[in-house]
Structure formats: C-alpha cells, structure tokens
Chain A
Amino acid sequence: MTWTSIFIAGFITYLTRMAMITLIDKNVFNENFRKILAYVPSVVFPSIIFPGVLLNDYGMLVTITDPKIYGALTAIFVGYFSRNVILTIISGLTSYWIIIFVF
C-alpha cells in the first residue's frame, strides 16, 4: 500500500514538473491564479509547523513552558536575522536539547 502511494505521489510530482513545459499552454494561468499559487508555501508549511510545535504526541495542546515552544521561537528569531536555513534548524534543535537535557 505504501509503495503504491509512493509511486502515485512520485507520478503526480513529476506531472507538476513537466506539465507546463510539455503539455499545457502557459497562458491558461491567469494572473489571479498565479497570485494565489504564490501563497501555497505560506499556507502549507504553517499547517505542519503549528501542530508540530503546539501539540504533543496525543494531539493535545502543550503548556507554555514546553521545550518545543522555546525551540521554535529561537529558530524564528535566528532565522529572521541570519536568513540562514541551516543555522535556523540547528539553533532550534540546540535550544530544544539544552532545555530537555540541562534543565
């Protein structure tokens, strides 16, 4: 079952890559559709970030003192000012680990 899903997901991803180059006339995209499409990352990724930080393994809200909240805030702070992808991830993980293992 999982294998079938991987192949279908792979096929759909390939379609998104080749469709505009080989199949479809790019003028089918009107300006409004392009504008909406530009928001896709901003709607998809927060849908993973927020539950990943605010909820625990059982889908319940964590408390304000949860190490994940500090980790995420550190990552946002470091990422905003450094504009560096890897520094953002590492700073978030490090602060998370410091709180878990040191305190």
Chain B
Amino acid sequence: MLSKFQIFKIGFFDVAPHLLSVIPFGIIFGAIGIELGFDPIMTYATSLIIFGGASQIVFLQLLSGGASSLIAITSVGVINSRHLLYGAVLSEYLNKLSLIKKLFISYFIVDQGFAVSNIYFKKNKEQNFNHYHLIGSGITLWLCWQISTILGIYLGSIVPEALGLKFAIPLTFIAIIINELRKLDHLIVMIVSGLAATFFYNAPFKSYILISPLIGLFAAYLILKFKK
C-alpha cells in the first residue's frame, strides 16, 4: 500500500509535463487581462475565484467589449460545463469520501488534472488513498496557475500595446481545440459556430457568444441524428 504522501507525489509527477503549457498560458492570461484594461487585483482575482483559464479570458474579453454581466457570466458557465462530465466520471472514485473532502477536492478539478488522475484511478482501483493523486495534481496546477497569472500581470504592465497582444486570445483557443480539427463532425460544427459568431457579432450585449454556440450545438445534434 502506498502512503497518502506517496500518492500525492505521483499526482505531482504525472501532471508535471502539463505545466509546460499551463505556465505560459497563465502568463498570457495575466498579460491579456492588463491589456484589456482591468486592474491587476481584479485580473488576479479571477484566477483565484473562477480558476478556469479559457473562461477567465472570455469573461474579461466580453466585459471589456461592453457585454452585459449576465452574458459574461453565462458564457463562463457554458465554457465550464465540461466539468460536469469530469465530475460524473470522478464521482465513481470519490463516492466514499466525506462531504467536506468532496467539497475541497471539487475546487481543484481542471482539465489536465482530470486527465492524469483519471488514468491513475483506472489503473489503481485497489488503492485506499487514490484521491490524493487528484489533490497532488490539482494543487500543483493551482499553484502554477496562480504564480504564472501574477507573472503575466507584471509582464502585461510593461509590454507595449503596439505588440497587439490581444491577438493571443484567438491563437490560444486555436491551440486548445486544434486536436478536434482532425474529426470531421467537430470540424463542421466549428465552422458553423465560427461563421455564426462572425455574422451575429454586432448583436446587442455581445449575445453572439451565446447565440453561435447554440447554432453550433444544433448542427451537432443534426450530425448525431444523421450518424444513426
């Protein structure tokens, strides 16, 4: 039997390769927050309170572009709805824990941590303290995200505006979904929602950010029907 700390360490080492992308992403986010005109404390607060990279960028971008709070908040909810899937998968491994522990661990569920811990859980069903793997990977990612955001906030305050750092926003999201480009159904859905967003971009309150994903999901629904 491995001890709690040993499993925690495995979680740390398993997630370590992902830090190569998490840390630069955090720096980019911090710099973008400043570039969009938010003050350092507010930009950092989103990392602490929301703690979801892509959704933080969208949130600040929408608010700076004049979107209503309701639209910005709803977008965060839509982007982060993928955690529901992670939770559904993880609940099987965490169901014996006390409520307090479950509430604590929940805060640390992010993409990369879920990916590595889920693999570990599948391979080690007999271990007693498996959830320490998720705590290990989660806290590692959390710490790196907090520190890199602060680093980015500092960089953002000295980087000249002429560099057009805002362009890093679409590039970051291209990087996030690049692997889905290989699947034809996802590619079609991407083009449909992207064109819809461009077309509805000037809709009131920046509501394009909710309208176009809905149109995209409808396309996905049609594709699923067609596949059957």
Residue total for A at the interface (Cβ-Cβ under 8 A):
64
Asked whether, in the complex, the Cβ of A75 is within 8 Å of the Cβ of B208, the reply is no
Cβ contact of A76, chosen from B51, B79, B181, cutoff 8 A: B181
Asked whether, in the complex, the Cβ of B94 is within 8 Å of the Cβ of A39, the reply is no
Asked whether, in the complex, the Cβ of B169 is within 8 Å of the Cβ of A86, the reply is no
Decide yes or no whether B105 CB sits under 8 A from chain A: yes
Closest to B91 in A: A21
Bits for A1-25, please: 1 = Cβ < 8 Å to B, else 0: 1111111111011101111111000
Cβ contact of A47, chosen from B21, B180, B208, cutoff 8 A: B208
Q: Which residues of B contact A (CB under 8 A)?
A: 20-21, 24-25, 28, 38, 42, 45-46, 49-52, 54-55, 58-59, 61, 63, 69, 72-73, 75-88, 90-92, 94, 99, 102-103, 105-107, 109, 163-164, 167-182, 186, 189-191, 193-198, 201-202, 208-209, 212-214, 216-217, 220-221, 224
Asked whether, in the complex, the Cβ of B174 is within 8 Å of the Cβ of A76, the reply is yes
Asked whether, in the complex, the Cβ of B193 is within 8 Å of the Cβ of A47, the reply is yes
Bits for A60-88, please: 1 = Cβ < 8 Å to B, else 0: 01000000100110011001100101101
3 closest A-B pairs by CB: A20-B87, A43-B216, A50-B194
Q: A47-B209, A52-B170 are in contact. Are A12 and B224 (CB under 8 A)?
A: no
Bits for A35-48, please: 1 = Cβ < 8 Å to B, else 0: 11111111111111
Show 27 residue pairs from A and B whose CB-CB distance is below 8 angstroms, ordered by the A residue.
A3-B45, A5-B63, A5-B73, A9-B50, A10-B49, A13-B51, A13-B80, A16-B83, A18-B107, A21-B91, A21-B94, A22-B103, A39-B220, A40-B78, A40-B82, A40-B217, A45-B177, A47-B197, A49-B170, A59-B201, A61-B198, A72-B170, A76-B174, A76-B181, A79-B175, A86-B20, A89-B172
